[in-house]
Chain A
């Protein structure tokens, strides 16, 4: 078997507003547009990867929240209706997604060997969380690549950001090992926002962009600080500052996705490509790609 490869790592947030604004046939509500800066960012990300060959997407979503370890979707296909429990007015999406169960099992097994608490999810009635569906759609609307879906272990809630990060760095390490051993070409995605303080009311027209902005200047400063680290290849500083960032920006990195992603990418020292930044109901969202394929020396 040839050696597996991570072709790209992406930070690709999941607010359902992005799917809502796209008006895809799978989603029941319809919109007049909105959040174009981020949707164009997703377009640029898709264009960046259009000529890149890969076999599977490994995605960690903060909205499959598990408190008893890390779980992996473990059946070949999931087909159902995903309704966002927070924004049901925006997101009622009929999904049909394939799972790379083999790769999921391989990551699971390596994680178990490393002492992490893990479980395969094999209940056919399980509804896939809307974060996975949103990022899955925005990243690959054709849904023609199988996914490995990883839950968000809420160890930060139980212990601390530091403990969460320790566990996610370890999970990232074994994810990387499993991918390289699999012989597959893989895109790795963390599906999370940056600063994550929401507005607590919604505009009468949710896509009214005259109402959209970051919730506070402090959140903006934190988002820009993180983006600067993304753009200048300072992944280690992101990990170093993760406790402060997570606490002070109420950041969705609390779900572990960003720490896991950077670890899976072996803590990249080359610049990430910022494809877009924008706010969604006050939260800060960046679409960033680490073009691992262009930095083979990192492999």
Chain B
């Protein structure tokens, strides 16, 4: 199956006026026209999945994902009930919903699916689904906005979703159902009197739309907290839909953006925005936040063992092969390339790289530590626990284990430890460990005779004390 991809994103307003009363106010009518245009673009795109993140569906126990294949009911807005009722019957991709839930778990994020008759689908989702997918031709999936989630959870939620999109070969459209400024008038108003609640809200909205119009989605994501403080009523925690949408778009800043409409709905800022993945050539990314891949989680106050992630089956064969561990970063399968050398007998990398690469007569090894293949155990013990508390460890045992791992990689390449030409060693505590490391060196690689440089560094990705970077002679290829 070919890789799936995100073929477009839309930002759409949540209030029911665009469905129930577009004729009552010119602005509401323009938003409805923009909604209809967005629906046509989605239809023409050949999309086979709509993914909706709704800010009007708050959740507490992680994120929730609708998994009822055909939810049906009648939605009445809590505030605008006098506008009328919206009956709905939606086409939900329950298989994708379950796969997304499993993908969240694999990335350390708690979520759950909901498939109960009569479950109250929120107003934002109902409005978006009714207008963007009026004939239910495209299966959809809807996710809640967790009230306690912050950027890391929301970003990981998006990445897990994209894991499934890619693995299942879908052509997906991402939708955030949301307001820009969300301050409404607190008293009833005549439709003709609707306007953005304040000039300040309007100015911020226009700045957000200027950035989105330039395709600078990640910039808006990184302004999320500021935007929330400036123009958001604290109904929800943070302006998080932009984190999710940016995560869905690999945190890009060079999308092709187009604002289809911007109007007031009872004082709140409502906009329809189309973000096309075609590079616009504008916008730099300057990260000032982590590009988080896994949610480590600190919020759980139940006393169960939260490091035991549930095993999942259905997608394991298709999703990127990463594993999480309780003390350190995720593990990856080594990448495969034309000249790469990878060994089952060596520990898994902590990123997307091979164990070694053959270039001409030389073999360049990625940094090798003491972790053991399979168990990931550290001979001599880790240098700190999962909470960062320092532990006692044996530098000699770690150094021996490093050299054994180097030997295994070289043997996989058809060579031996005798082929090592040059070593750069990294120690996290030079004062404590140099002597023990040096003794083991003398007994092993010292007998081989490579050149050596030893550096003190602040930390390594896993809780180890020593790592070596090796250049070796490459044996002739078979």
List chain A positions with a Cβ less than 8 A from chain B: 64-69, 71, 81, 83, 85-89, 92, 117, 119, 121-123, 125-127, 129, 151, 154-155, 157-158, 198-203, 211, 215, 281-282
Contact = CB atoms under 8 A, between A and B. Distances in A.
Interface in B46-86: 57-62, 74, 76, 78-82, 84-85
Contacts of B303: 211
Contacts of B235: 67, 154, 157
Interface string B175-213: 000000001111110000000000000000000000000
Contacts of A126: 76, 81
Contacts of A88: 114, 116, 119
Given A68-B266, A126-B81, 10 more contacts: A83-B118, A83-B119, A83-B120, A87-B61, A92-B118, A119-B188, A122-B82, A125-B74, A201-B61, A201-B300
B439 to A, nearest CB: 48
7 contacts: A64-B78, A67-B235, A68-B186, A86-B58, A86-B60, A198-B60, A199-B61
The size class of the interface chain B forms with chain A is 35 or more
A86 B144 CA distance: 10
B302 A201 contact: yes
Contacts of A67: 79, 184, 186, 233, 235
Contacts of A85: 57-59, 119-120, 122
Main secondary structure of the interface of B (DSSP, over half): loop
B125 to A, nearest CB: 11
Contacts of A203: 302, 304
Nearest to A120: B82
Given A83-B120, A125-B74, A126-B81, A200 B110 contact: yes
A123 B84 contact: yes
Nearest to A152: B78
Contact of A200 (B82, B114, B122, B148): B148
A154 B234 CA distance: 10
B299 interface: yes
Interface in B23-40: none
A69 B82 CA distance: 14
Interface string B229-240: 000011100000
A215 B303 CA distance: 12
A88 B304 CA distance: 23
A200 B60 contact: yes
A158 B183 contact: yes
Contacts of B62: 200-201
B391 interface: no
B234 A157 contact: yes
A122 B299 CA distance: 41
Interface of B: 57-62, 74, 76, 78-82, 84-85, 110, 114, 116-120, 122, 146, 148, 183-188, 233-235, 266, 299-304, 306
Contacts of B60: 86, 198, 200, 281
Nearest to B144: A85
A125 B185 CA distance: 25
Contact of A199 (B114, B184, B186, B300): B300
A68 to B, nearest CB: 5
Nearest to B146: A200
Contacts of B301: 199-200, 215, 282
B186 A69 contact: yes
Nearest to B300: A201
Contact of B82 (A83, A119, A158, A199): A119
A172 B255 CA distance: 52
Contacts of A121: 81
B25 to A, nearest CB: 15
- The winner among A151, A199, A281 for most chain B CB atoms within 10 A is A199
Contacts of B110: 200-201
Contacts of B146: 200
Contacts of A281: 60
Contacts of A81: 117-118
A195 to B, nearest CB: 13
Given A155-B186, A199-B300, A200-B300, A68 B79 contact: yes
- The winner among A68, A127, A154 for most chain B CB atoms within 10 A is A68
A125 B186 contact: no
A129 B233 CA distance: 22
Contacts of B58: 85-86
A248 B234 CA distance: 15
A201 B149 CA distance: 12
B267 to A, nearest CB: 9
Contacts of A200: 60-62, 110, 146, 148, 299-301
A69 B119 contact: no
A199 B302 contact: yes
A199 B62 CA distance: 10
A158 B186 contact: yes
A126 B84 CA distance: 10
A69 B187 contact: yes
A65 B58 CA distance: 12
Given A86-B60, A198-B60, A69 B188 contact: yes
Q: Which 7 A-B pairs have the closest CB atoms?
A: A125-B85, A117-B187, A81-B118, A123-B81, A126-B76, A125-B74, A88-B116
Contacts of B122: 85
A77 to B, nearest CB: 16
A85 B145 CA distance: 12
A83 B81 contact: no
B79 A202 contact: no
A203 B116 CA distance: 20
Contacts of A282: 301
A125 B76 contact: yes
A151 B78 contact: yes
Contact of B184 (A64, A68, A92, A198): A68
A223 B164 CA distance: 44
- The winner among B81, B184, B187, B303 for most chain A CB atoms within 10 A is B81
Nearest to A87: B61
Contacts of A129: 78
Contacts of B234: 157
Contacts of A66: 78-79
A10 B52 CA distance: 40
A68 B76 CA distance: 15
A283 to B, nearest CB: 10
A126 B79 CA distance: 11
A129 B119 CA distance: 12
A68 B187 contact: yes
B186 A127 contact: no
B85 A123 contact: yes
Contacts of B120: 83, 85, 127
A207 B266 CA distance: 42
Nearest to B234: A157
